[in-house]
Structures are given as structure tokens and as C-alpha cells.
């Protein structure tokens, strides 16, 4: 893996060339869908000429292919947007470029970010960085693997229900899902607007902190953004850590539980108090998530109608144009979610499903708030198992959804949560531990992770 500091001060053109060679040498992992060589080298020349300066001057990175960027297509790993060239750039990309960082490529994902393995990509799965027979995790699998393989020192991803934390855990890198509203989502393909967040992958917490500091903050182009709360400089180190009881049951892989306990022991040795906390509402979070998120997906994906973007079926009949374009452009998982979402929002079922799920979500938020009266940080595993085998869950959506049980809670409550490497399983697969904080405690979570690195 590579650190940001290794790239600072050198030649930006050399950095970009090196990253592109590295990307090509690991192409069998399918972590990147496209390289933006020409634009990256242009920007690098500007950095070397002193025209662009900043905290990430000449540092290469990759962005998940649901970020709108210049210099490449933006496909969301779907056939629908296979040839889509963005007319604008995402705010997060603009902010990074303003600090001299250079996007060298676009990374693979589950199409429209629907999934947890990157197997739903229209362009083939990404392979796990530690074991090529296993999934990369997802949906931001390509970004996690490119970081883990050292192609780039950091990568951007999106996390709606675990899509940064879970692949970070599966590939042994740090993954940050910020507080809802912390980072502008302008110019990022929408999935579920009430839980979509933007964050990053890096080899260490310090690098992740720098990237988050740059991309966080209010944006007039995203009305859900908060004022600038990300401030790593004024922190009171928290002391009280709660291990989430519901995430440590016998159903969870033993190596995963042991890695969590070992991390807790390290925290105790550093002066934290660790005790068990129960949040009974967590067992309903998958049910809530897989009602609320498809509902929002069915609404957000209505814009892909064959008229405005991407695939356009050949027909003169408008209804047929909508139907055929959507049939040709969307992957099976996209269609499944659109159908579930339309169903739970339909007039006969709205109260029974969508409304009830939203009420349960409020109870979950209340329960988290209550837990944070006694604890500064909650912790647990990221995923019930290390990376599973390619194909193991892909024909069974329920099995795939169940793997999200530990990440969707923080998403529904809008809380910041990070995944930090916490050792490996008996068969050498990376395992991550999850730290969840109160809203706007993003910088604090990273400070805790930093304090434990190398211990």
C-alpha cells in the first residue's frame, strides 16, 4: 500500500505515470473501468509548472465510477450509462483537484451501487486484493482494491448502506463513511437520497483524515450539506466505548469476533473503557433498509427513461421507449429494487411497508441517541464474515442482503462510521472493525483509529 506523503514533493507527471503503470499491471483484478490518462497527465504538468498548488499536489487517486468526472466516461458500471460523458464534475472531485490531486481512473462498482460484492457490475466483478477467488466487497469494490494494491494512496467511494466500510474491511484498508450531509453529493449518481454519503479509502487513518478534511463542508449545490464541521484540530479524545452486543452473536464468524475483541483490548490498554451495549432495534435494520432504500431507488432511477440519458431503445412509441430502454439498460438487481420500491410505495401498501419502516427508523435513531448518553463510540464488526467466494451469494439476493446487517444501521441513522483494519482470519483474509460515532464526530473516529495504528 502507498501513503500520500510518498507522493508529495516529487514530480506529479512521474507520480501519474507510475500510478498508470501500476493500474495496468493489476488489470486482472478489474478494479478500474477506465483510465483518464490524458487529462491526468495534463493536470500533472500544471502541478509541476506550479500552476496548481495544494495539500495533495501531484497525488494520484481514483474515483468510483458513479462520480461525474471530466476526462473519462461515467458509467455507474451499468449498461445504461455505458457511453455517458458527464457535462460537469462532482464537487468532491473539484475540491480534490483544487488541492492538486489528480484522478487517474474510474473504479468498478455494483451497477448504480446496488450490491455488496461488485458482482453486479455490468463490466464483470472486481477480485479481492488478498484472494483472487473472493469478492472485493461492494459496492465500492474497485476503489478498495485499487487502494489495497497500492495503485493509488486513496480513492473515493459512496456508502449508502455499507459500500465503503464493507469493501474496506474485505481488502484491509481504512474506509470512511461520514455523517449524512458532511460531504456534498453534487455530481454523484443518486441511489437512496436519505442515506447516500461520500467518503474515502486510504492506507491509514491520517491519510483518510486529510482527504475528508478537503472534501467535507457546505456546498450551495447540495442543500443537504451541513456547515463545515470536520475539524481534526480541536478534539477531546473520547473514553467510553460500547461493543454492540447484537453484532457479537454466535452467528458471526469466530475470527471476526476475535478481531473485534482484540481491537477492544488494545483500546482498553490505551485507557478507553469498553463494555457491552445492547441496541435491540438493530435486528430490524435490514428490514427497514430494504424497504426505504428501494423506495428511494425507484424514485431516483425514474430519470433513466431512455429520453434523457444513456440507452435509448429503437421505437416510435413513447411507452415502449420507456419500457424497452429500462429493460435493456438496467441490471437484474437494479430492476429488482425498482420493483420492490414501487411496490412498497404503492397506495395499497404504503402504510404497511414504507410508513412503518420510517417509524421504525425513528425508533432506531432514538435508540442510538440513548446509547450515546453512555458511550462516546460504538464498535463492532463490519461484516459477519470475511470476504466470501465469488459467486457464493450472487444467485440469492436474500443471502447477499443479510451480509449488510452490520452496516445499514449507521446509514439509516445518518451516523459517521469507519472501518479500520484489525487483523486477518485463519486463512489470511483481512478483517475490519467498525467504529460508529454520533453525528458530526467524524474527525473523532479517525483520531481514535489513528491512536491505535501500529499498536
Q: Is 116 in the site for ligand GLN (CB under 6 A)?
A: yes
Cis peptide before 139 (omega within 30 of 0): yes
Least distance from ligand GLN to the Cβ atom of residue 195, Å: 8
Question: Is 163 a known active-site residue?
Answer: yes
List 78, 121, 139, 143, catalytic entry: 139
Q: Which window, 109-117, 203-211, 227-235, 381-389, contacts ligand GLN (CB under 6 A)?
A: 109-117
Q: Closest distance between ligand GLN and the C-beta of residue 408, in Å?
A: 7
Please give the full DSSP string across 289-329, using - where no structure is assigned: HHHHHHHHHHHHGGG-SSSSSS---S-S-HHHHHHHHHHHH
According to the binding rule CB under 6 A, does residue 114 interact with ligand GLN? yes
178 is an interface residue for ligand GLN by CB under 6 A: no
Minimum CB separation of residue 400 from ligand GLN in Å reads: 7
Output the smallest distance, CB 296 to ligand GLN, in A. Answer: 11
| Residues sharing a CB contact under 8 Å with residue 355, sequence separation 6 or more, in sequence order | none
- By CB under 6 A, is residue 159 in contact with ligand GLN? yes
Buried b (16+ CB within 10 A) or exposed e, 85-121: ebeebbbbbbbbbebbbbbbbbbbbbbbbbbbbbbbb
Tell which residue, 127, 124, 129, 119, has the closest CA to residue 173: 129
238 sits near ligand GLN (criterion: CB under 6 A): no
Q: Is 55 exposed, middle or buried (0-12, 13-18, 19+ CB in 10 A)?
A: middle
Q: Is 65 in the site for ligand GLN (CB under 6 A)?
A: no
CB of residue 113 to ligand GLN, shortest distance in Å: 4
Q: Does 191 engage in binding with ligand GLN (CB under 6 A)?
A: yes
> C-alpha grid cell for residue 143?
476503489
Q: Is 440 in the site for ligand GLN (CB under 6 A)?
A: no
Other C-beta atoms lying within 10 Å of the C-beta of residue 388: 22
Distance, CA of 308 to CA of 8 (rounded, Å): 42
Nearer Cβ to ligand GLN (58/384) = 384
Catalytic residue among 107, 163, 325, 425: 163
Residue 346 catalytic?
A: no
Site string for ligand GLN, 285-324 (x = CB under 6 A): --------x-------------------------------
- As a whole number of angstroms, the distance between CA 419 and CA 177 comes to 8
Residue 229, Ramachandran bin (φ over 0: left; ψ between -120 and 50: alpha; else beta): alpha
For ligand GLN, the binding residues (CB under 6 A) are 113-116, 139, 158-163, 191, 293, 404
Catalytic residue list: 64, 139, 163
Amino acid at each position: 500500500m502507498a501513503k500520500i506523503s510518498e507522493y508529495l514533493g516529487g514530480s506529479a507527471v512521474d507520480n501519474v505515470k507510475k500510478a498508470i503503470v501500476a493500474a495496468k499491471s493489476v488489470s486482472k483484478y478489474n478494479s478500474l473501468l477506465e483510465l483518464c490518462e490524458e487529462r491526468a497527465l495534463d493536470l500533472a504538468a500544471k502541478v509541476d509548472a506550479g500552476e496548481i498548488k495544494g495539500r495533495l499536489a501531484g497525488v494520484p487517486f481514483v474515483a468510483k465510477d458513479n462520480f461525474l468526472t471530466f476526462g473519462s466516461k461515467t458509467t455507474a458500471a451499468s449498461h445504461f450509462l455505458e457511453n455517458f460523458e458527464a457535462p460537469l464534475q462532482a464537487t468532491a472531485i473539484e475540491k480534490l483537484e483544487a488541492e492538486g490531486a489528480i484522478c487517474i481512473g474510474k473504479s468498478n462498482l455494483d451497477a448504480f451501487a446496488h450490491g455488496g460484492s461488485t458482482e453486479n457490475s455490468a463490466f464483470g466483478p472486481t477480485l479481492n486484493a488478498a484472494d483472487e477467488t473472493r469478492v472485493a466487497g461492494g459496492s465500492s469494490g474497485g476503489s478498495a482494491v485499487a487502494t489495497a494494491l497500492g495503485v493509488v494512496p486513496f480513492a473515493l467511494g459512496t456508502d449508502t448502506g455499507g459500500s465503503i466500510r464493507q469493501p474496506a474491511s474485505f481488502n484491509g484498508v481504512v474506509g470512511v463513511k461520514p455523517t449524512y450531509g458532511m460531504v456534498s453529493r453534487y455530481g454523484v449518481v443518486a441511489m437512496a437520497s436519505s442515506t447516500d454519503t461520500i467518503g474515502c479509502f486510504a492506507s491509514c487513518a491520517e491519510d483518510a483524515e486529510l482527504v475528508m478534511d478537503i472534501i467535507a463542508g457546505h456546498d450551495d449545490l447540495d442543500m443537504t450539506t451541513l456547515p463545515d464541521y470536520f475539524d481534526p484540530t480541536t478534539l477531546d479524545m473520547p473514553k467510553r466505548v460500547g461493543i454492540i452486543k447484537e453484532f457479537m452473536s454466535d452467528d458471526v464468524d469466530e475470527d471476526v469476533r476475535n478481531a473485534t475483541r482484540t481491537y477492544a483490548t488494545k483500546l482498553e490498554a490505551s485507557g478507553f473503557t469498553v463494555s457491552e451495549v445492547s441496541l435491540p432495534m438493530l435486528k430490524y435494520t435490514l428490514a427497514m433498509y430494504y424497504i426505504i432504500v428501494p423506495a428511494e431507488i425507484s424514485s431516483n432511477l425514474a430519470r433513466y427513461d431512455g429520453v434523457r440519458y444513456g440507452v435509448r431503445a429503437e421505437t416510435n412509441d413513447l411507452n415502449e421507449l420507456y419500457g424497452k430502454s429500462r429493460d435493456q439498460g438496467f441490471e437484474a438487481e437494479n430492476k429488482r429494487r425498482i420493483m420492490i420500491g414501487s411496490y412498497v410505495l404503492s397506495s395499497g401498501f404504503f402504510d404497511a411497508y414504507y410508513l412503518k419502516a420510517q417509524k421504525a427508523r425513528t425508533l432506531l435513531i432514538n435508540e442510538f441517541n440513548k446509547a450515546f448518553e453512555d458511550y462516546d463510540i460504538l464498535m463492532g464488526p463490519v461484516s459477519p464474515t470475511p470476504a466470501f467466494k465469488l459467486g457464493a451469494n450472487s444467485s440469492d439476493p436474500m443471502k447477499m442482503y443479510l451480509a449488510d446487517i452490520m452496516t445499514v444501521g449507521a446509514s439509516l441513522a445518518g451516523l459517521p462510521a469507519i472501518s479500520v483494519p484489525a487483523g486477518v482470519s485463519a486463512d489470511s483474509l483481512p478483517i475490519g472493525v467498525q467504529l460508529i460515532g454520533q453525528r458530526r464526530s467524524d474527525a473523532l473516529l479517525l483520531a481514535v483509529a489513528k491512536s491505535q495504528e501500529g499498536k
